[in-house]
Structures are given as structure tokens and as C-alpha cells.
A and B are shown apart, each in its own frame.
Chain A
Amino acid sequence: MITRIRRSATDGWVNTPDGRTHYIFGFGDISGVPENELVNYRARAELMAPPLLLKAGNEYIVTLTSLGTPTRPDLDDPHTIHYHGFPNQIAFYDGVPEASVAVPVGRDLEYYYKPLDPGTYMYHCHHEPVEHIQMGMVGPLVVYPHDYDSSDPAYKTAYGYGTGTEYHREYYVFLNELDCSIHNLVATVQEPDWTEYRPTYWLINGRAYPDTIDTPGGSRLQSQPWPALIKANAGERVLLRFVNLGFQQHAMELLGAVLKVVGIDGMRPLGQNGEDLSYNKNIIYIAPGQSYDAIFTAPEAPDMYPLTLPFYNRNLIKNNSGGVEPGGMVTEVQIYAPGSLPHQTEPNQA
């Protein structure tokens, strides 16, 4: 059985806590939307892009439909999906326009994936990637192990039964930056000089603090549906899926709990003879195009619930939203008394 998923490529606007809006290109989820209703999904790009959640061993067809960019009707750029990190990809499904095909406005392309390797990956458009990545065509891609079962603690794992990667809750830590002057140039049909790239906002899951912890969000954040607030019951194991699709290296620090690195770039850190090379960290350094899986155990704190653990970028100048501190890549982990929060069945579910 083949599972069908559909993504739109279009444009839209995102919001930062200083009240400014920024023009983006991006993806939207149009799975199951009838053809005659697709027009309603124009200009509704989301940042971060809707996650692609796959299971190892299953087959998927992801259809990319380019709905055009209403704010830039002059723009005839095609788009693609590049499944970043897919082992043994073939060129046709790799989404590189110079080495296969790309999707013009008004057209579709079907990408077939049969992922075999569980882990945290990412997807993005690869047409003029410097522009289309910065403009927002970026999202996480998760491959669950073939034996994944959210209802069985031994099988709710990042890398499969018996791999020591059991978890109770999982959250995205999806990192990128936004240079507002470049977004403004693109909105007004001008060519940026990319060597002058200079971010003004640093985002987790598409939002800058304090929007990162604004769970309801509301209409101001309708194109940014993913808060970055991490919640867990004391004693639970929490899996953080770090992805960096910005252009800078980042340094995410968690205070009050230790992060055990159990996955790097979608692979368990294992030597050639199966040596366990996992390690513990307070800060995850992550370069553009890398992913990390790290698990921490939510500490107990009787009489103190909910306990808050700060989680922020130790490159402290990135704790900034357009000149206002604290902002940018800052969020929180909130820990509740055992049994307070219900079972989590999907990533980021609070």
C-alpha cells in the first residue's frame, strides 16, 4: 500500500514579535484537498513547512503542486522537494533541478520514497537553494522505525526496539534564521547579494521568542502553526529532533537536564563494529544541513511543578527578535507532576 501526501509550493507572510511581517515562499499541506479547492491554498505557505512523517519500510508518494506566488505574479521559478539525507537516492527523486526535473507554476510532480533508515531528516526546495531555503521552503522529515508503536513503551523509539532510544514525548527543534531586508527585496522584485546575508531574526519552529512559547498562537501566527514549547511529566524521556536549515551554526543549550545524543544526521552514532558512540551534552552545536536526536529525562521537582528549564541559543546574540532581547532562539521546557499530561501520540503535541 502506498500512502499519498501532497504539498503545495506557494508564498505567504510570517510574523515576528515586534509586529513586523515578512514575505516568504513555502510549503503547505494539501493532502486530500479536491482539485477545485486548491486555489484556496494559494498564499498560505507555512513556516516551518508541514512535517513529513514517514515510517521505515513503507512506501510514499509525495506530490508537489506549485500553486504560484500571488504576491509575486511575475515569478516563474519552479520548485522541488529535496529529501535531504535520503540514503541511496536516485537523481529523479532528489529534487535538484540541474540534475532532474522541477515543478513549474500550475504543475505537479510525484516523488516516490521508500525510506529504510529511521531518523531525523529534513526537506527543502532545491531550486536556487540559497533563495528558496532562506525564503522559507524548509521543514522537518521524520522516519519512524518499522516497528514503531506509540502505544507500547518498548516500541516508541527513535531508532527501533532495543536501540536504547525509547521516549515518551518528542519535539521539533527546527532552526533557521531570517534576514528581513532580503525578504523585503524579494517581495519587491529586487535581487539580493547573498554575500551580504545578515539575519535579523533567529527562529525555532518558524517562530521567534516569545512567540515560541505562545501555544494558542492565534490569527497573528496562522502561517506559523508550530510553537516550540516543550512539555513533559517528571521522569519522562523527551526526544528532541534538532534540524538546522539556516545558514549559520547554532548552539542550543538546555539548563537543568542532560541531553544524550542518540542520533546524528539520521544515523545512530555507531562504529563499524557496532560500538556505541553516543554521548552526553548540555549544548548541541549544529551546522547548516545537520540533524541531531537527543533525549533528556525530565527531572523531578516535588512542590515546584510546573518546573521551567530554559532552552536557548548559547550564541547569545541570537536571543534577539529584530533588536529586542530576550527574543529569537529562546524557548522553555515545562515539567509537570507525574501523570499530569496525557499520553503523546504525535510530535509537539502538548
Chain B
Amino acid sequence: MPTIDLWAVDGYISTPDGKSIYIWGFTDKAGGSAQLPGPTIIIKRQDPPARTMVTVNLTNSLPEPVSILFPGQSEVRVNGNPVQPQYQNGSLISLTNHCLPGETITYTFYAENSGTFLYESGTNPHKQVPMGLYGAIIVRPQDYMPDHTGYKTAYGTGTGTEFDREYLLVVGEIDPDLHQAVELGKPYDTRVYKPRYWTMNGRCANDTMLPDNVDHLPNQPHGAMIMLEPGEKVLIRYAGAGVENHPLHPHGNHTRLVGMDGRLLQNRTLSNTTDLSYKRFTVLTGAGQTYDQIYTWTGLGFEPVTNQIPTVIPNLRNMAIGHTGMTMWSGSPYLGVKGELPSGMVSYNEVGEYHFMLHSHAEPEITNWGAFPGGLMTMIAVYPNGTLERHHGMLPVESHGL
């Protein structure tokens, strides 16, 4: 049975415009700093009739009570009893059983549904969740076998949710005034909540496009680049950890929404299956909501010899290339071809891959405190066949062992 030890601690994150922001968050390393988002918990369900009990030990190193909610999970318990909201002198102080500073509390739940979920603080959540006390849970179906065709799925074989690579995007907002008030121990009035930064996996663009585990972002270990080859099925898991809704729009293609809030978009009876999945080009990711979707890109097959680009390729001296001295472009319209770029232009293009933006269409959210580019933006990179290393978009079967 998976057991996860978490600590609620503080720490700092950085933004691309050079700010350092105080956060509260979770870590799964004793003595570690807060991580944004909290460590991703990945669980594989047992074969029935066995049930998959998950144990989470939370140790509170913050100066006030902290707890964890497990929305969408079954039979969440503390000490064998169902979790309950907590009251003091008749008023609500926590949505679930909490632990005091310096103490440890043990939650258990059964992972009965595959899909994408959140875990987040239930104590002063209006403050603690935006401060960073949130993370994602991925539950894999019991027949999940990443090396077997048809068994690498989000919801089980036969559910139409096969994928080749998977990426998790946890989105959130940051109002620096809240973070500063908490750091200085000052009051904060939730009514003035006004995000100035928006995060994908704890990072603001363009840091979203950096790889995992870069040195200068020790508490924001996860990048948000989506990489695939043509024709591959990519499972993109959105988790809305902020308090606002965000319309996320991938360029390049629609996504097919196959799961919502950790439930397969399918109605099944003994005799009948009604598929409720549908395609979208902009998905409004609600507060607390999760979406599982399949993205593929097959392109129109332009290549330099037999199916050339049907327009005149302009003289690049007459074009504007890149933005602020950098570009993700290869210099060629063809996949897998690199062309000449103006001297002095920094290109991050590796092998002639295509880059498609994925971003919030509530466009003030793609700024860092009002300055574009930033915030809820990343790229989907389509690599020429055979050039993308296998490890990209490979999350482990389980994160915290049995």
C-alpha cells in the first residue's frame, strides 16, 4: 500500500522578472523546502477485489494548523474515522481534520477511480491554497502496463484513452500582496485578491519552457513543455489549483476531453456505452477542476521535395523574426529542416521541430505583473519522427512505491 510522507513548510519561488516570492507548500523530503506545486502523487490501483489504500502522513512545520483535502477520493479517514470539518466555539476552523504546528496527522483513503485529482489544504484554504499548499494526484487503472499496446491508458483498456506520452499541467495564481502579508505576519483581506502572476507547474512563462530540475528553480522542479512526435497520442492532464477559471488554448490542434474531475466521460450500463468525450480548442479549467485530454498532431505533410509549401517563402530580411532577440523557430517552414536565421538571433530550436503555443486566452494571464510574455503559457513541440527521446512525457507508474 502506498505511503507518502509530506511536510507542510515554507520556502521561496522565483519569477522570470527576478522576484522572489514567499510560499507555503508541501515537500516529501524531510528538512526540505516548500515545492510548488507539491510533490505529484502517482498511484496504481490494485486488481479488484483488493482495494488500494493510500496513506498520507502530514507533518506540520508551519506556524498555524494545516490539513489536506483529497477531493474525489473514497473513504478519506483519520485514525480510522471519516474526516470531518473542525469547529472551535461553534465556528468552522477547518474543512477537515487538521494538525497543529509541530504535529503529524495520518490520512488514509481508497483510490477507487483512475484519473487526475488535486490534494490541497482544507484549513484557512482561502489563504493556504493560494500560498501554495496544493499538488496533484494521478491514479492509474489497475491494468496499466506502459509497455503493452492498449494498456497504457488513462482509464483502463477499452476506454479509448490510450496514450504514448503524458504531461501534467497544474495551474495557479499568485497575488504577491497575500504572500508578503503572510511572510510579515500581517492581515490580508481576501476581497482584494488580485493575481499578478500565473503559474503552470509552479512556474511563470518563459520558465515553463525550461526542463525539469533546473538549478536556479530548486523549489519549482517541473517544467511544462509538451513534446511529441507526429501521430503520437499525448495525454494532457489539467489541474486547476487556483481560485479562478482559466481558458487554456493549445495551438496546433483540438484536444479530445476524455475525463473530468477524475471520472471517465462515458456512461456505461450492462448493455450500452455512451461516449461523452468531445473535442475542444479552448478548455475552461475551473477552480478545483481537472481535465484529462488527448492531443495529437498529424500535420498536412508539407515537405521540401514532393509537397512544397504552396506560398512564396519570403525573404527573411523582410520579416520580423522572434521576439526580444529569441525564437523557437527553425528558420524553415518544414518539419525537421533547419534554415538560416538572421545573425544575432538566438534560436532554441533543436532539430527543426514545430512549436505551438499553449496558453490562457484570458490574455492578461500571459503576463508577469502585466508584462508579456509570462504567466500561463508554454509550448507544444512537435519533433520530427524518430528524434524525440523516449523519456520525454514518461511519468512513472507509481511515485511513492508500495
Contact = CB atoms under 8 A, between A and B. Distances in A.
21 contacts: A2-B310, A61-B310, A78-B319, A88-B297, A89-B251, A96-B355, A97-B322, A99-B354, A108-B314, A193-B369, A193-B370, A196-B370, A264-B279, A265-B254, A265-B282, A270-B278, A271-B276, A275-B276, A277-B276, A289-B249, A289-B361
B372 to A, nearest CB: 5
Contacts of A306: none
B291 to A, nearest CB: 13
Nearest to A271: B275
A129 B363 contact: yes
Contacts of B247: 249, 287-290
Contacts, number: 191
A331 interface: no
Given A90-B302, A288-B362, A99 B356 contact: yes
Contact of A104 (B196, B284, B319): B319
Interface string B314-337: 101011111100111100010100
Contacts of A275: 274-276
A258 interface: no
Interface of B, secondary structure class, is loop
A299 interface: no
B105 interface: no
Contacts of A134: 363
B194 interface: yes
Interface of chain A, main secondary structure = loop
A185 B318 CA distance: 29
Interface in B248-295: 249, 251-254, 256, 273-282, 284
Interface of A: 2, 59, 61, 78, 82, 84-85, 87-92, 94, 96-104, 107-112, 114, 126-131, 133-134, 192-197, 247-249, 264-267, 269-273, 275, 277, 287-290
A90 B364 contact: no
Contacts of A102: 319-321
Contacts of B305: none
B170 interface: no
B320 A103 contact: yes
Contacts of B195: 195
B254 A87 contact: yes
A116 B218 CA distance: 45
Contacts of A90: 299-300, 302, 333, 335, 354
A267 B279 contact: yes
Contacts of B371: 194
A131 B372 contact: yes
Contacts of A273: 273, 275
A287 B251 contact: no
A277 B269 CA distance: 18
A85 B363 contact: no
A273 B372 CA distance: 42
Contacts of B355: 91, 96, 98-99
B275 to A, nearest CB: 3
Contact of B327 (A61, A78, A99): A99
Interface string B353-375: 01111001111101101111100
Interface residues of B, number: 63
Nearest to A78: B320
B328 A99 contact: yes
Q: Which 7 A-B pairs have the closest CB atoms?
A: A289-B361, A271-B275, A92-B333, A193-B370, A78-B320, A130-B363, A289-B282
B311 A110 contact: yes
Given A98-B323, A288-B363, A84 B281 contact: yes
Contacts of B326: 98
A267 B319 contact: no
Contacts of B362: 247-248, 287-288
A288 to B, nearest CB: 4
A101 B321 contact: yes
Contacts of A126: 357
Nearest to B310: A112
B274 A104 contact: no
A194 B363 contact: yes
Nearest to B160: A272
A99 B329 contact: yes
Contact of B281 (A2, A91, A266, A271): A266
Given A99-B327, A102-B320, A287-B247, A265 B364 contact: no
Given A85-B254, A87-B253, A98-B357, A247 B363 contact: yes
Nearest to A130: B363
A341 to B, nearest CB: 33
Nearest to B279: A267
Contacts of A98: 322-323, 326-329, 355, 357, 373
B163 to A, nearest CB: 14
A131 B371 CA distance: 10
B336 to A, nearest CB: 12
Interface in B340-358: 354-357
Given A96-B251, A101-B321, A271-B274, A288 B282 contact: yes
A6 to B, nearest CB: 13
Given A90-B335, A129-B366, A271-B278, A109 B253 contact: no
